[in-house]
Amino acid sequence: MIDALIADRSFLSTREAQVLGHLARGLTCQQTANRMGLAVHTVDTYLRRIKSKSGINTKAELTRLAVTLSL
C-alpha cells in the first residue's frame, strides 16, 4: 500500500505532510500543535485524514510512510 502512495505524493495536503513529518521525528500531538500554532484537536484531525486517505492504522505505519516520503 505504501508503495502506491509514494508514487502520488500529492495525496497529502501541505499541513498533513507537516504533521506527519513532526510525528516521524517523535513529537507528540501536543508538541506538534505547539510548534505549528494549532489546537491538539486539529493535529488529531490531520492524522485521522492521513489514516483515512492511506488506509494506515498505526503510528508505526504512519512513521514509516513519513520516512519513505522523506518528510
pLDDT recorded at residue 54: 86
Q: Give me the pLDDT at residue 18, please.
A: 95
The tens digit of pLDDT for each residue in 42-62 reads: 999 999 999 998 888 898 898
| Cβ proximity of 65 and 2 under 8 Å | yes
- Report residues of the chain scoring pLDDT below 50: none
Query: How confident is the model at residue 32, as a pLDDT?
Result: 97
Residue 63 and residue 68: Cα distance in Å, rounded? 8
Which domains can be identified in the chain, with CATH numbers?
Answer: 2-68 (1.10.10.10)
